[in-house]
Structure formats: C-alpha cells, structure tokens
Amino acid sequence: MAAIPAVAAAATSVFTFINLSTSLPLARITHCRLRSVIAASSLSNTEFNINFAPPKPKPSPPPIISTSKSDNDSEEQLYTPWIVRDGKGNPAPASLLHAMAIAKTSKKKKTKTKAKSENAPKSKPATFSTEPKYSKAARRFYNENFRNPAQRLSKILAAAGVASRRSSEELIFQGRVTVNGSVCKTPQTRVNPEKDIIYVNGNRLSKRLPPKLYFALNKPKGYICSCGEKETKSVMNLFDDFMKSWNKRHPGEPKPRLFTVGRLDVATTGLIIVTNDGEFAHKISHPSSNLSKEYIATIDGEVNKRHLIAISEGTFIEGVHCTPDLVELLPKQPDISRPRLRIVVHEGRNHEVRELVKNAGLQMYALKRVRIAGFRLPPDLMLGKHVELTAGNLKTLGWKK
C-alpha cells in the first residue's frame, strides 16, 4: 500500500510538468513524460507485471527422411546426406561449403579438358568462310592483271561476234585488224579488250564481251547448219527475232554471234545445240568427249534380224571402223506404219548413222536426233523453236556454266 502514494506523486509531478511546458512541441512533451515515468519507476521498488508480444517463431527445419529401415528410428539421430556437418553434428559454415564447391567444379573442368585433348583429333587451322575484304587498290590490281587474262586475238574477235575463228584469222591476215593503233597480222597475239584498243574494218571492238548463251533447237528439215550470210535457209535464220529484240532486252551489251555445236544433215531433224561459247562447243563436239547421241531412224521397208546384226557390226567411214553402241527395233505404233530403229553412237562421224543403215541394206526414210549425252529433246518443243538451257541442262551435257 505504500507504493500507491509514490506512484500518485510521480503522476502528479508529470502532469504539473506538462502544464508548465504547454508551449513546447508535442514530441518533446511526450519524451519528457516518458523519462519522468521511467525515473519514478526506478526510484520505487514496485514490480510491474508487464507482458510483451511473443517473438516470431523460427522456421522449422525440413523433415529428415531416412533411407534405411531400422527398429530404433526414433532413438537415432538422422542426417540428410547432402548436408556437410562436423564431428558434433553441427552444419559446416557457409564459407567452407563455398570453398568446397569451387574446388570440385575446378577439378571437373580440368578433367574434361584433359579428356577432350586426349580423345579429340588435332584441330585444323582456321579457314575463312567468306573471302576477305581488300582495299580498292588491291582489287584494281587483281582485276587488271589476273581477273581477265589476255587471250588470242582471233579468239577475242570470235567471242565478240565479229566472225568465226577461221574467218577472224583471215581478217587478221588481210590487215583489217588494228591493235592500239598498229596493224596486227598475227592471230596468236595476246590482247585484252578491256585494256587494248581493237579496231576491225574501222569499227572499234566493244570492251564488254557478250554473255554466254546456250540454246536447244528443234531443227526442221531443209535447214543447214552453216553460218554463211549467203545461205537463205540456215539454222541461224531461226534466231532472227531473238537478235532483233536483243537491244531491248540487253541494252548496252554487244550482240552475240551464235553458231551450232556440230552439224546435222539437211534432211535430218531434231536436237542441235546453238551457242556463242567456243570452249563449250569444242568440248561437246570433239570425239574425245565420248558423248552418246541417240537417233530415231525411220526405215522405208521391212527390218529383219539380219539387218540389226549388220548395223551392230558397224562399217568403215573415212577409213575408220565405226560401230554403234546400241541398235534396237522399236515396237510398232498405230499412227506410224513404217518401222523405226533406235541407234546410239558416240563418235559422231560425218553421216555415221546413215552409213550404218545403208551398209545393212536398208533405205532411210527419215532421221531425227532426240538426245545428246543426258539431255533429251523436250517433247513439247515444236519444229523451228528453241529453248534456253539451264545450268542443270548444261550439267547433263558435261559442262559447268
């Protein structure tokens, strides 16, 4: 009971202090009041029963799962195997775990690199997937000296469409060609149309050569394969419309000079290649290329087995014994009354198929070429029409464009 007057006295002093200091701010008044209460409570020996809020519960550790079955599971202390602990069962500090992890990963990396170095083959030197870039001066030097090398004068004239190679040589021998202001009478002279000034019959040769062209023509009967200007029914006359529209389709480019690859007789129809590429024509037409050519021969009369044997045995043409690769009698068709033979040759001698049929005692009614190497005449290509060859067609002919 003696503590009650002491508390009352402390409270009275506090209120008195508040009344005297009404001019002070509220925060200072509250602070002073708390200090007075604490001081009064410390002077008295009274014990107050003050209860504070309970502390926040700590998160419970995850349940320990035992992998081994035993009867004394409740008595034994279980530990998770992936937690490192010391001898007393306490978990190891985080710094130790971090150091152990770094050590393990570094060892694994080293072993991997060793295994790779032992088993892997020797590395190849690095190669550029794209061409490196050079300066303008380097590109100019390359283009002037290596990109377009000098070629023979007669070949340049033929490629430019002036005339055939033989006719170009005749023009050079006649002194009608000048190179850099001087008359040149040697067809083997090396020139470059981009660097040298070439005149033919007073007309300057264009620096730009025409693009390479390749056509498949279905040659009709009565046309010859000569490129002479005096011929009225030449194969080249079938390209008149193409040449007239050249300037519209290719402005600024010189007109190409087209010619046939090999020849067909006047009476022979079918597939023939027309181009302005001399190297391509030489490779296709040369006997060393061994390109097979397929013909369909229509015979006037009956064909027996002895005729087929006679054709397969071959005949002599210009002193050379020529034998076909294949001779076959095609089955009869309702719309074709005459028998037909399929004959395949590869040498390409002059009149070879006609001589083989004549030597067998047969009379030729019509002859048509339908295939050269792997390229076959399109069935929808009409007589006198042409179609431009694609890169795939040239590949079947054994030429890479």
Burial class (CB in 10 A: 0-12, 13-18, 19+), 360: buried
- Cβ atoms of 160 and 152 within 8 Å: the answer is no
Burial class (CB in 10 A: 0-12, 13-18, 19+), 238: buried
- Cβ atoms of 344 and 247 within 8 Å: the answer is no
DSSP 228: -
Distances in Å between the Cα of 157 and the Cα atoms of 163, 184, 188, 198, 205 are 7, 13, 12, 9, 8
91's tokens? 């978990």
Q: Give catalytic status of residue 86 as yes or no.
A: no
- Cβ atoms of 360 and 327 within 8 Å: the answer is no
CA atoms within 13 A on the CB side of 84: 10
3-state secondary structure of 219: strand
Q: Which residues of 102-120 are buried (b: 16+ CB within 10 A; e: fewer)?
A: eeeeeeeeeeeeeeeeeee
Q: How far apart are CA 273 and CA 257, in angstroms?
A: 14
Would you give the distance in Å from CA 147 to the centre of its chain? Answer: 23
Active-site residue, from 265, 277, 300, 335: 265
- Cβ atoms of 310 and 361 within 8 Å: the answer is yes
Q: What are phi and psi of 322, to 5 degrees?
A: -115, 130
Q: What are phi and psi of 148, to 5 degrees?
A: -115, 85
Would you give the distance in Å from CA 376 to the centre of its chain? Answer: 27
Place of tokens 């009225």: 232
291's tokens? 């390109």
Query: Which residue type, as a one-letter code, is found at position 239?
Result: F
Task: Give the residue among 212, 168, 211 at the shortest CA–CA distance from 191.
Answer: 168
Q: How far apart are CA 199 and CA 213, in angstroms?
A: 24
List the catalytic residues. Answer: 265
